[in-house]
Structure 1
Amino acid sequence: MFLGTHNPKLDDKGRLTLPAKFRDALAGGLMVTKGQDHCLYVFPRAEFEQMARKVAEAPFTNEAVRAYQRYLFAGTDEQRPDSQGRVTIVPELRRYAGLSKECVVIGAITRLEIWDSSAWQTYLEDNEENYAKAREEVLPGMF
């Protein structure tokens, strides 16, 4: 399970050091893809393959399904962390997420999300009030 917030830096070669506590879960390979809200999603390879099977089962005769499949799979890069836990974020994905040197990696249970640090702060500020409302929708009657 991926949890927490971390602040690695993107180096001049486009490499990002993954938080040490996640490296074992990602040692077998990972998939970096365009996420929602202009962040990047990082899935363990097995988790991504499971999701990809579900996406592939959707009827490709549906225009929205084809568009989603194209967007998801064309924007995915397979990586294997090096001995220092670094992965290279390809230029297209860096551009999509607007990544600068300062990044934020958050755990989102089944995936990591990579955000530009200033974009993450803006997202938090813009959505803070929605958190309580979302909790009520996601977990009604729990709290």
Structure 2
Amino acid sequence: MFNGRTALNLDAKGRLTVPTRYRESLNGACGGRVVLTQHPYDACLVMYPLPEWKDIARQVAAQSDAHAQVRALKRRFLGQAVEVDMDGSGRLLVAPELRSVVGLDKKAMLVGLMHRFEIWAEETWIELEQQNLDQDAMPESVQALSF
């Protein structure tokens, strides 16, 4: 559904404009209603169409609170989630708290990962891109793929 990356600018109010090529799909999938939250492992935000969010949120919420790491994951992923409506110009308001937690200021990178997006601060994305992937550290299921 969503793939590719796009460099974006946030406006003075903290809004980002969703690229035109994604707007129709987002409107069709969720009426422009998305959820933004902190990625559970990486220094970026994740954006889910509302129906996708409901599925993943149920799975995370169903995990037992008996383990401290699970509670921390729930706080980070579920506790910071914000439902946002895309306006008629394709803009989404990114809450100041979410922008702050990942260092998102003016320049961002929107990365489509099929069923969701990641939103990176541009400088963090550049640093990430400069790291080499270690094929031997990949799970066997990934190592078996032919690219």
Aligned to 1:90: 95
CA contact (8 A) 2:45 2:119 kept: yes
**Cα deviation 1:76-121 (Å, max 9, x = unaligned):** 1100100010000111111111112111101112210111111100
Shift of 1:65: 2.3
2:38 to 29, 34, 38: 34
Helix, strand or coil at the partner of 1:37: coil
Identify unmatched segments of 5+ residues in structure 1.
none
**Cα deviation 1:14-65 (Å, max 9, x = unaligned):** 0000111222333321000001321110000000100011112212333332
CA contact (8 A) 2:135 2:143 kept: no
Identify unmatched segments of 5+ residues in structure 2.
none
Provide closer, same or farther for how the CA distance between residues 101 and 55 of structure 1 changes in structure 2, counting only shifts above 3 A. Answer: same
Q: How does 1:19-98 map to 2 (within 5 A)?
A: 19-27=19-27, 28=31, 29-35=33-39, 36-98=41-103
CA RMSD of aligned residues (A): 1.8
Counterpart-to-counterpart distance in 2, 1:137 and 1:53: 28
User: Which structure is higher in strand share?
Assistant: 2
- State TM-score, norm by structure 1: 0.88
- State TM-score, norm by structure 2: 0.86
User: Which structure is higher in helix share?
Assistant: 1
Counterpart-to-counterpart distance in 2, 1:92 and 1:70: 14
Aligned to 1:105: 110
Aligned to 1:18: 18
Number of residue pairs matched?
A: 141
1:119 pairs with 2:119:
no
Q: Which amino acid aligns with 2:38?
A: K
| Percentage of pairs with the same residue | 33
CA contact (8 A) 1:25 1:44 kept: no
